[in-house]
Structure formats: C-alpha cells, structure tokens
A and B are shown apart, each in its own frame.
Chain A
Amino acid sequence: MIPELGHYALMLALGIALIQSSMPIIGARTRDPLLMSMATPAALAHFAFVAIAFAALAECYVFSDFSVLNVFENSNSQMPLIYRLTSVWGNHEGSMMLWVSILAVFGALVALFGNNLPATLKANALGVQAWIAAAFELFILTTSNPFLRIPNAPFEGRDLNPILQDPGLAFHPPMLYLGYVGFSITFSFAIAALLEGRIDAAWARWVRPWVLGAWMCLTLGIAGGSYWAYYELGWGGFWFWDPVENASLMPWLAGTALLHSALVMEKREALKVWTILLAILAFSLSLIGTFLVRSGVLTSVHAFAVDPRRGVFILAILVIFIGGALALYAWRAPLLKQGGLFAPISREGALVFNNLFLVCACATVVVGTLYPLALQALNGDKISVGPPFFNATFGPLFIPLMIAMPFGPLMGWKRGDLLGAAQRLLVAALLAAVAVAASFAISHGGPVLAPFGIGVAVFVMAGAVTDIVERTMVLRLPFHATLRRARGLPRSAWGTAFAHFGIGATLFGIVAVTAWGSERIAEIKPTQSLEIAGYQVTFDGVFNRAGPNYRDVVGHFTVRRSGRIIGVMAPSRRTFPAREMATTEAALMSRGVSQLYLSLGDANKDGSVPVRLFFKPDVLMIWLGALLMFCGGALSLSDRRLRVGAPRPARAKVKPALQPAE
C-alpha cells in the first residue's frame, strides 16, 4: 500500500510540475497576474507530493519491506537503522529520488521566500525549475521506478554494498546533491532573465545567496567524499582524478567562477552576459556529472550500449536543457545591456583573471574526463587520461591563480593600485619566503618544487590575513578601535578572508602529504615493530569481534614515540556474510594535523599479517581548509546586504503586477 502511495504521489508531482512549468511562464509573457500567481502554490504542492513519495520510499527501507525490488536489492534487516535509512540513496533509483526531492525543496523555498522578487522573474524562474523537475520525474517513472514490487516477497534483503555502510553515505551524497541542485536555481534565474531580456544588479543580489549556498554544500560534499575515500579504501589516497570525482569537481570550478563574477555584477553591473553564461554552465556541468555517474557510460561505452534506456533518456535531458539554454543565450544575450567600465588593474580586473583561470581549469577537467570516451566513440582508439595528465595541466593553471589571489581583495573597484597592493603584501611574501627556506631545511628529499608549493600556500594564507589586518588597522590603531573596525567590517569581507585562507590551507596539506608522506609495507608477526617518521608501531596480535551484520578481524597495535606509549591503533578486516565481501577498516591516529594511517591485510597461516603503515604529514589541513571555505561561505551568506535583499526601487516597480486581477 505505502509503495503504491509513493508511486502515485510521484505521478501527481509530475502533473503539478507540468502545470507549474507552463502556466506561470505564459502568465509572465501575457502579463497575466493570475497565471503568474499559480507558481507559488504549485511549487508548494509539488514539494508536498515529492515529500510524500520520498517518505514512502524511506518507510519501505526503514521497515525493511522486501516486497519492493529496490529495497530487496539494497537493504538488509540486520543493518543498523542509520544505514537502512541512508541506503535509500545508496542506489540509482533512490539517488534520483533524492535529487528530485532536493529540487522540490529548493523550488518551495524560492516560492516561500521570493516575495521581494519581481513577479515575472519569480514566475519564470519557478517555471524553469518545474521543467527540470518534470524531466527528472519522468525519468524516474519511466526508467528507474523505485516502487516496483516483486511477486513473492523474499525473507531477507541482499544488503547494501559494504563500502557504503559508513556514515560517509549519510553525509556525502546529500551534500553533493544540495550543491548540484542548488545550481539549478541559478540556472532557472538565468533562463528567466534571458526570457525577460532584462537583467540588473538586483538579479545578482537575488542569485548570489543560492550560488553561495550551492557552492558551500558542494565544497563540503567533495571534501567529505575525499575524506571518506581516504579512510575507507585502505590506501590513504585523497584524490584520484577519477571520472566520478571529476564529475563533482567540474561544477565546483564553474560555480567558484560564478560566485566571483556575480560579485562584479552585483557591485558594478559589469560582466552580466558572462555571469549568465556561467550560471548556465555550472548547472549544465552538474547535469553532465549526474549523467556520467548514472548512465554507465564511464564503466565502458559498451555497458551503455547494452542497456541504453536510462543513458539515452539522460542524454536527451542533457541535450534539451544544455542545448536549449545555450541557444536561448545566443539569441537573447545580445539584448542585455553591458555595464560599467573598469581599468585592467582593478578589483574587477582581478576577478576577470580569476574567472579566466578557473574556467580554463574547469575545461581541462571536462576535456580530460570526456576525451577518452569521445575518442573511443569516434574512431575506436582507446587511451587513458589519468592523474599524471591532470597533475601536469591542472597544477600550472591553479598556481598563477593562487599567487594572484591575495592581490584581488586588496585592490579597489574600477581602478586599483598594483604596487600599493604589493607593498601591503610584503609581510605575506616574506613569510612565504621563510616557509620555503624552512621546508628546504627541514625536509630531506621529496620533489624540489614542493617547498615552493608550501611557499605559495603560506602566501595565500598570509595574504588572507593581510586583508583583514589592513581593514582593521591592527597595531596602527589602539586595540579597542581595531576591535570596533573588525565588528564593523561587512561579514562578506570576513567570508572572503576565511575562504581564501581555507584554499591556502588545503594547498598546504596537499603539497605536504604528497611530497613528504612516507609509507611502510611489510608482513609482521606479533611483538615485531615498524618505524615511521619517529613513531614505533608494535604489533600485539589479532582478535575477532562480531558486529550487527559483519565479522571483524581486528589487529592490535601499540604506538610509541621515543619509547613512551602514546596510544593504540586497531585496524580491521571486515567481512559481510550477506554479500561475501570484505572491506578494510583503516585505523587513524591524529598527531596535530598529521596522521598515522594503518591498514591490515588478511592474516597468514604463520600468524604474520601484511600491514600498510603511512605517515601523512599535515593531511588534515586538506579538509580543514575545505571546512574554512564552508565557514567563509556561511559568513558571507549571513551578510546583512544579502538578507535585506533587493534595493527598494526594483521592488516598488513591480508592485502593480502583484495585485490580483479583478
């Protein structure tokens, strides 16, 4: 009964989405307030029905209704509650349901809190949102129905893939999807602006919170996924340039560029047309990301050809939305008036530089990810594009960006003073030089370029601090005056500093762990020890432990530093009988921001075990940096200017349109 209810609710949601996708847009064209005003209740009703459908699916999972095929294939009644719940989106059908649910939530939020928007813009934007929702709901209903029943309900489910039985699954996909789908709002607003042929600084102000929010979630989602892979896969890698990862990096890069160009548009009315294009690109890349992961085209072109139904459907969605949006852009963008002039050396100029490099980096990732697929489809040649390619191309594009980053916030709008900015960054540059010298002195071996990477990272972090120091005049004014200035500083200024500092921290971690991480691979017997980076790790023995739906073989290791015991590490091999699979549960010990990482192989008959022991210097900086970026975004989001919303004149102008027709 409940699955059928969910199925039916989803169909109703599709019907409402179809109404929402047509009526308000017709209303906006014919200036019919009644038709336009349908958008808000439609968006709310759409949300309600999608929520019912999602709740129905979640109910099937939580109460282990194995008569539903999707639940039978991906769940097991022995799993803890949290994994029964998270396995809702641990599979194709459920993850699409999550996608649509988030879309519905965002649509409802625009409907509820978009009262200060011009009526036509709101109607158009909600209409475009509904196109996306309708397309994905049609996709779910026709090719990926999660509510399908099986005639004879089995007694037990097949279990969730063991690697996914991890808190990471509760966090990573929802965050990632919040980011992907968040960009759908900016996309809808961009299309709405193109439909109207009118765009101004107020548009940028409405859209920026959504860009910020989506970017924050995507940042945290990517970082969370990276940490999950780091501890779960058992070999301590944090980024693999895997196509599935690249799929999430592409919209992040485009979104970061959008975040910065929207800033120029909001403050100076410049870069309007470009910002619209970036908004379209960011969501297009989110769609491509979904397509890459969901269609099976990555596994092999053949897998895609064997069961092409889903793939072709998503491909059609891609072509219609991306192609349609770009065509509309080519047609309508020339109508949009260009805004303010600025000198090449200025805050605007710096942000254009930022956009150029970010977009090139993004294009590199896109081309590198899709090239092997395209080449194979074209002439059957098989090549691989792996980490060495991305390291060789992405790095050189990102380093100039990093070096330029501290200059940007120090430059004035319209006309900046490069020399003045350089002078103010002198302390930061000196700190960076000291960091380079220190890394050369401390490190033995490692790549020659690594100390310079550390230097760039320190420059970025010190540059972010410099900005705040300059604005609050620390040391130049009495303390209480500084404090007052710090409090008076716009939150967005703090946000910028935090996010830029975070990027520096992440770079620091990446460089340090790649250049100076060390590794021991060995087979050891009880009482034997391994030495790494001044730590002594002694193997005490193994014991067995039973979990709710798995068995653990746990290794017990004592960690000493200069003879003193500082802790124990207990990595394990975990076997899941339901699928007869094993996972590696690595043990991590944090020492400041560095970590000891120990993973265990299968024990040999003579009692020895193969172990992999890593020392990961400063590895936590990678994710702490991402967390700082998130905090920066949050601070910026809490800025008063964004909460207050649009300037008055724009609101006054649309008032007549809001009155109902008599």
Chain B
Amino acid sequence: MKYLHAVALLIVLVASSAAWAVEPNEMLADPVLEARARAISKELRCMVCQNESIDDSQAPLAHDLRILVRERLKAGDSDAQIINFLVSRYGEFVLLEPPLSWHTVALWGTPPGLLLLGAIMIVLGERRRRARAAAAGPAGLSPAEEARVAEILGGEGTQ
C-alpha cells in the first residue's frame, strides 16, 4: 500500500495549513533567479517530511526554507554558498543527494561495484563451465553402453 503511509503522514503535517508547495507570493520577480531557486529547492530535503524536497512540501518549515533560499539568492549568493549555508545549519540530512564521503562509500559504490562484480562472476563462471565441458570431451559412452553398442552391432559388424 504505497501511499497510505506517506500520505497519511503528509496529511497530519499539513492538515492545518491548507496551502500548497511553492506559493505565488513566495516567488521572485526575476525569472532567472526564480529558476535557480526552484533548482536548489529540489535538492534540499524538508526535514519534517518523509523524503520530500522543500520544493514539493507543504510544511511550514519548507515554506520558511524556500523564503530563506530566495533571500540568499537576492543577496547575491552562489548556489554552492546557499547549499553550504544550509548544510552548516542543518547537517547533511538536508541534502537529498548525499555527498560522497566515508560513510556513503557503500551507498555510491553499490551500483558500479555490483555491476563489475556480476560481470566478473559471469565471465569466470562461463570459463569454468567451458573448461569442464572441454575436459569431459564429446560425451563419451560408459562401458555398459559400449557393450550394448557392440551387442547391437555384433550381428552384422563382426561377420
């Protein structure tokens, strides 16, 4: 039941504020700055929600953060400066894309690592199977089968 849970939580969080995500009065007049604000917002997590960016979230905290991002943009900060500012304030939890560090190595390493490992295992397994098949040679007959062949052929072959 995919949404029951997420949605139930979402409802609890926003039941009072019947507003939604980015509101018209939050938006900046300058379309370039506003586009940057939207892009930054999509990378930042709303900390009181379940896996939602502040761009999507209806929570009051997300509203405050959207305003904050836009204020920093108006003050002339770069995208990186704004994100660094939020990380220093809320920790790495705020980033929806976790940066590569010692404790996320296993996370980022899984897709390429597993792909490589899988490819190696397939190649090795294939080689082993081939070697085994080659060693066995073209399916030989057991002594009993040889005898049976001789018996069948016996009548005409030896005469």
Binding site for B on A (CB under 8 A): 89-91, 95, 161-164, 172-173, 176, 222, 225, 228-229, 233-235, 237, 240-245, 247-248, 293, 298-299, 338, 341, 344, 352, 356-357, 359-361, 363-364, 367-368, 371, 375, 379, 381-389, 392-393, 396-397, 521-523, 573, 579-582, 584, 599, 601-602, 610, 612
Contact = CB atoms under 8 A, between A and B. Distances in A.
Contacts of B147: none
Given A385-B98, A522-B24, A299 B129 contact: no
Interface of B: 1-9, 11, 15, 18-25, 27, 42-43, 45, 50-53, 56, 91-98, 103-104, 106-108, 110-111, 114-115, 118-119, 122, 126, 129-130, 133
A176 B2 contact: yes
A242 B27 contact: no
Nearest to B26: A521
Nearest to A370: B107
Contact of B98 (A298, A338, A389, A602): A389
A434 B117 CA distance: 37
25 contacts: A176-B2, A242-B2, A242-B50, A243-B50, A293-B4, A338-B129, A356-B118, A359-B114, A364-B111, A367-B106, A367-B107, A368-B107, A371-B107, A381-B103, A382-B93, A383-B93, A384-B92, A386-B51, A388-B42, A388-B97, A393-B108, A521-B27, A582-B18, A584-B20, A612-B21
B69 to A, nearest CB: 16
B118 A384 contact: no
B20 A601 contact: yes
A314 B51 CA distance: 23
Given A176-B1, A386-B96, A612-B20, 9 more contacts: A176-B2, A356-B118, A361-B111, A371-B104, A389-B98, A521-B27, A584-B20, A601-B19, A610-B23
A612 to B, nearest CB: 7
Nearest to B130: A341
Nearest to B126: A344
B110 A367 contact: yes
Contacts of B53: 386-387
A298 B5 contact: yes
B97 A389 contact: yes
B25 to A, nearest CB: 7
Contacts of B114: 359-360, 363-364
A248 B97 contact: no
A429 B15 CA distance: 51
Contacts of B9: 299
A235 B21 contact: yes
Nearest to B121: A356
Contacts of B1: 89, 95, 172-173, 176, 244, 293
B2 A397 contact: no
Contact of A240 (B51, B106, B133): B51
A161 B11 contact: yes
B98 A383 contact: yes
Contacts of A228: 3
A434 B18 CA distance: 47
A582 B10 CA distance: 12
Contact of A384 (B3, B96, B103, B119): B96
Nearest to A396: B111
B6 A386 contact: no
A584 B20 CA distance: 9
B146 to A, nearest CB: 24
Contacts of B118: 356, 359-360
Contacts of A388: 42-43, 96-97
A389 to B, nearest CB: 5
A397 B115 contact: yes
A242 B98 contact: no
B18 A602 contact: yes
A532 to B, nearest CB: 15
A293 B5 contact: yes
B20 A352 contact: no
Contact of B106 (A95, A237, A371, A573): A371
A242 B106 contact: no
Contacts of A381: 92, 103
A234 B51 CA distance: 17
B107 A341 contact: no
Contact of B2 (A293, A360, A602): A293
B96 A389 contact: yes
Contact of B3 (A229, A379, A599): A229
A49 B96 CA distance: 47
A523 B25 contact: yes
B19 A299 contact: no
A244 B20 contact: no
B46 to A, nearest CB: 10
Contacts of B103: 375, 379, 381, 383
A383 B92 contact: yes
A389 B122 CA distance: 27
